[in-house]
Amino acid sequence: MSETLERLQTQEKSEARKKAEAWFEDFEKALAAGDAEAAANMFAATSFWRDLVTFTWNIKTVENPAGVKDMLSATLDRVRPKNFQLSDEPTEDGGVTTAWFTFETDIARGEGLARLQDGKAWTFLTAMTELKGYEENRGTQRPLGAVHGHGSDQLNLRQRIDHEKETLGYEKQPHVVIVGGGQGGIALGARLRQLGVPTIILERRNRPGDSWRNRYKSLCLHDPVWYDHLPYLKFPENWPVFAPKDKIGDWLEFYTKVMELNYWEKSEATSAQYDGSKGEWVIEVNRDGKKLTLRPKELVFATGMSGKANLPKLPGQDTFKGEVQHSSQHPGPDAYKGKKVVVVGSNNSSFDICGALYEAGADVTMVQRSSTHIIRSEPLMEHGLGDLYSERAVESGVDTHTADMIFASLPYRILHEFQKPVYDKVKELDKAFYDGLEKAGFKLDWGDDGSGLFMKYLRRGSGYYIDIGAAQLIIDGKVKLASGQVKEFTETGIRLEDGTELPADLVVFATGYGSMNGWVEDLVDRETALKIGKVWGLGSDTTKDPGPWEGEQRNMWKPTQVEHLWMHGGNLHQSRHYSLYLALQLKARYEGIPTPVYGLQDVHHAGI
């Protein structure tokens, strides 16, 4: 028995615990009776239940009693949830009782977080943690490793791993193929490895981590280290708060080795088609110059949530005498000392590249085409992330998993309401900074509804910069600023729509990326890409995130309209957190566990 549970049973019950226990007792009775309506009536008129796989075999948020009733009516008979137990002492603040809990279904164990108000549930999170009978081999279940006893035919652990690497994909087919060996593919591969699902990760670059190493020299994480741990293995205690790209690349390479992943570098998938008669994908692969065919049951695209690079085709480009690059191709500033460089775009990559070019002695102009949200790293760390992802949070008992669950428990529908006060405060604290940017002619915004960075990221994945110093170069005029759309190239530079001509030896388009289903079009076909539809966004009907409301990230980490095809990615936090739920969905299919999906997402936008 855990110390927490023992304390819960022996100490005098707090009012918060009495409320939580009473609510869960009635809730479990309603569920046991199969009474979806009674259970739904325990939710407030405005309420949200977010389920990560346990009830829905999906990542799904239902809203209000009507949504809860519909979900439970469709799922209760097969899920049979039970044994709801408080896992920590409930708390109360502002009339809201917050309660952590665990529970079971017929086939799985789960955890969750409830917020109760006036005797009813306001927000409710349920998340699968493991499948019964298929638990990960860790903790007390960790493998022995050594071979005890005698016998000449026994292989040691190293020999078994080497044998698997030599035969998987040749003598034995993987159950899952992951296309893309960056942070997303590696995190998911580690989860599947621990669950015993035969998996191959395909990466076209030469080494694990090259997706980071090969970017521009000044690239570093703008998120803090506590936000960025990989599954199972945290960064060391002395790891930098903001890790440079090469350290991230080296860590990913190290991680693939210690987690014993079947990671195929120098391996590019050239085509993929689903063979419905055999229930498998046929994937043609070029592995370091040798062609072979893989036949997995499941195919995962982990090619980066940003999708394919947007590189505009403009009149006159063929006659331009300088270089043209997308930001993803930019090698860094070293070759451009004394050169004139125009960087088109005004978000993270643009600022990073402009700052490094200026430091290297280039003459740099940034072209801002539309307004940008900027927040300095220090106030973001203190006011935006500090309560969940910081040393302060760790010292107060909020580890990374707890932080992930708290963040996951906030419904997307109302998340902007929690974000607005943060950015209102930052706007006031950093007034002089923002005044300086506007005086320099920089166009600022705070998101369509003033909710700032995270909502822009979740809604569109663009339109922001976490400032680590380069914004001051705009304020001081050290990096020149031009505004407007690019009309065409000249022989010696670019011309904007207002007629402004900007001379350039190099033009870098920091113009972002398209939807991930563009990669599906390239590897499978256009019909399949259109069937999946746009990837990323919430349907908030804000800039670059068209409605209708989706309630979850479009097509990410969950079943798509194309069976056996999945999309995985996001930042390091999302790659870590959601890889568990995607891995459990794939494990269930590997073991033949029925996975009827509730609320499969409709397609409203093509995305390509």
Residue/partner pairs of 225-228 with CB below 8 Å, 24 or more apart: 226/385, 226/389, 226/390, 226/391, 226/393, 226/394, 226/400, 226/403, 227/385, 227/389, 227/400, 227/571, 227/572, 227/573, 228/571, 228/572, 228/573, 228/576
Region of 36 on the Ramachandran plot (φ > 0 left; ψ -120 to 50 alpha; else beta)? alpha
Choosing among 3.30.70.100, 2.60.40.1930, 3.40.50.2300, 3.10.450.50, the CATH entry for 15-131 is 3.10.450.50
CATH no. of 161-307+515-591: 3.50.50.60
Token digits for 30? 């309603």
Q: Per-residue pLDDT for 353 more than 80?
A: yes
Quick: pLDDT tens for 285-294. 999 999 999 9
- What pLDDT is stored for residue 152 in this prediction? 53
DSSP 8-state class, residue 383: I
Q: 3-state class of 481 per DSSP?
A: strand
Contacts of 431 (CB under 8 A, 6+ apart): none
Q: Which percentage of the chain shows pLDDT scores above 90?
A: 89
Q: Which amino acid is at 68?
A: V
Distances, alpha carbon 317 to alpha carbons 279, 312, 568, in Å: 46, 10, 35
Which residue matches tokens 């943690």? 129
Length of the chain: 608
For 35-54, what is the mean pLDDT? 98
Q: Which residues of 444-457 are buried (b: 16+ CB within 10 A; e: fewer)?
A: ebbbbebbbbbbbb
Q: Specify the pLDDT at position 304.
A: 79
**What are the pLDDT digits (tens) for 157-216?**
788 888 999 999 999 999 999 999 999 999 999 999 999 999 999 999 999 999 999 888
Write down the pLDDT at residue 1.
43
Report pLDDT digits (tens) over 311-321.
999 999 999 99
How high is the pLDDT of residue 585? 98
Query: Beta strand pairing status for 493-496 and 486-489?
Result: antiparallel
Residue 151: pLDDT above 90? no
Residue 46 has pLDDT above 70, yes or no: yes
The arithmetic mean of pLDDT across residues 417-433, rounded, is: 96
Of the candidate ranges 159-163, 477-481, 533-537, the one whose mean pLDDT is the lowest: 159-163
Write down the pLDDT at residue 10: 46
pLDDT score of 564 more than 90: yes
Mean pLDDT of the chain: 94
Tokens of 384: 């935006």
> In this model, does residue 535 exceed pLDDT 50?
yes
Q: Is the pLDDT of residue 579 over 80?
A: yes
Residue 596: half-sphere exposure toward Cβ, Cα within 13 Å = 9
- Binned at pLDDT 50, 70 and 90, residue 306 comes out as low
The mean per-residue pLDDT over the stretch 93-108 comes to 97
Q: What is the mean pLDDT of residues 419-439?
A: 97
Which of 377, 378, 350, 380 has its CA nearest to residue 365? Answer: 350
Between vectors from CA 461 to CA 456 and to CA 464, what angle results, nearest 5°?
A: 55
Cα-Cα-Cα-Cα dihedral of 297, 302, 305, 309, to 10°? -110
What is the reported pLDDT for 153? 63
Pairing of strands 480-483, 263-264: unpaired
Residue 588 corresponds to which tokens in the numbers above?
């269930």
Break the chain into its structural domains and give their ranges.
15-131, 161-307+515-591, 373-462
**Strand positions, DSSP E, 329-462:** 340-344, 363-368, 373-376
